[in-house]
Amino acid sequence: MDLDIERIAEAGDQYAQACLGCMYGVDGDDSTAVEWYRKAAEQGHANAQNNLGYMYECGFGVDRSYSTAVGWYRIAAEQGYADITTSGFSIRIGVRKVPYTLHPHINLRLRLTTTTRTLT
């Protein structure tokens, strides 16, 4: 990885941490991606919270847990993050239904991984 980004992320910058999560995820190092997403998510980075939920939903780098996934999706949505990433189900947060959509980098990830992994 880019050493400058890693140095900044290790210093606690949530944006660099989320960026590293994405970079490691696209590279296929899901466990490391989860570590960086979690660091950013715990600091309140909504996109990282959403992506961490996705990792739990699909079981990438962690044991699959729909309840943990929904928990992270809910935290992201409560901050106003409405672009919930899921692999095929919609969730209810309060009374508002959140439709499923995918981020561009997740779409790339799916194109790279659908031939080698089952997403269900």
Domain ranges across the chain: 3-113
- Termini Cα distance of the chain: 30
Average pLDDT (11-23) is: 93
Q: What is the 3-state secondary structure (H, E, C) of the chain?
A: CCHHHHHHHHCCCHHHHHHHHHHHHHCCCHHHHHHHHHHHHHCCCHHHHHHHHHHHHHCCCCCCCHHHHHHHHHHHHHCCCCCCECCCCCEEECCEEECCECCHHHHHHHHHHCCCCCCC
Tell me how far apart the alpha carbons of residues 55 and 21 are, in angstroms, rounded to a whole number: 11
pLDDT tens-digit series, residues 105-119: 443 333 333 333 344
Amino acid (1-letter code) at residue 101: T
pLDDT band at 81 (very low <50, low <70, confident <90, very high): confident
Q: What is the pLDDT of residue 89?
A: 46
- Looking at 1-5, 14-18, 27-31, which range is the least confident one? 1-5
Write down the pLDDT at residue 1: 53
Report pLDDT for 98.
Answer: 38
Whether 91 shows a pLDDT value over 60: the answer reads no
For the stretch 21-79, pLDDT in tens is 999 998 999 999 999 999 999 999 999 999 999 899 889 999 999 899 989 988 988 88
Residue 10 predicted with pLDDT over 50: yes
Architecture of domain 3-113: Alpha Horseshoe (1.25)
